[in-house]
Amino acid sequence: MENYKTVEHEGEAEMIERKSRFIGYCRSVKTQEEAIAFIEEIRAMHRQATHNVYAYVLRKDNISRYSDDGEPAGTAGVPVLEVIKKGGLTDVAVVVTRYFGGILLGAGGLVRAYGKSAALGIESAHPIEMIYCSIYVVRCDYSTYGKLEYLINNSGYILKDSAFENDVCLTVCVPDGFQDKFIKEVADISGGSAETTLVSGEYVKK
């Protein structure tokens, strides 16, 4: 399973370019339906705006779409899409709202303004890398817990959850390709006493 980059949460950033107001919005989306719903949400918020330009990229079926929303062809949606692609991002939708300030920006000015606004919106949404992991539950006694915690925190694994009862139950995310290594390390540290169970696989934030 390939790793990918997306954004952690919804972002919003505003800038003024020669009296025109640009607002860049960004959100993580998984489907075209989610992307379209996000675009319509922003449009509804800014019905009086001069333009609501958008672009989105999805992992599923390798889909990318954009709209200039009335701006000269290639000066709005394309720059927004290029910012997404240049950042290596996917499962991302960006909408840039413009309120015209009375001064024409020209084709080059529009490209720069929409690209910069998209980049600011994406930055505010916090780009992250998602890695595919096998999710293991490790059950061990308290005397082994400290050594396992050290292993997890210093070997590139991700501790997802801990439960402390009669024994310790750790939920651990193990990056793809390191499953056998992890199982062996747990067995070696615990002298074979720890129980390691594979429960699922999922993408998690690196």
**Residue 121 clears pLDDT 90, i.e. is over it:** yes
Strands (E), the chain: 4-7, 11-17, 20-28, 51-58, 63-67, 92-99, 127-140, 158-164, 168-175, 195-205
Query: Is 1's pLDDT higher than 80?
Result: no
pTM for this prediction: 0.83
Q: Is the per-residue pLDDT at 33 higher than 90?
A: yes
Report the pLDDT value the prediction gives residue 102, as an integer from 0 to 100.
85
* pLDDT reported for residue 11: 96
| Residue 153, Cβ density class (10 Å: 0-12 exposed, 13-18 middle, ≥19 buried) | exposed
Angstrom distance (rounded) from CA 116 to CA 137 = 44
Question: pLDDT value at position 206?
Answer: 83
Which of 123, 124, 114, 121 lies closest to 53, judged by CA? 114
pLDDT tens column, 79-99 = 999 999 999 999 999 999 999
Query: Domains (ranges, CATH) in the chain?
Result: 4-125 (3.30.230.30), 131-205 (3.30.70.240)
Question: Tens digit of pLDDT for each residue in 147-187?
Answer: 999 999 898 899 999 999 899 999 999 999 999 999 999 99
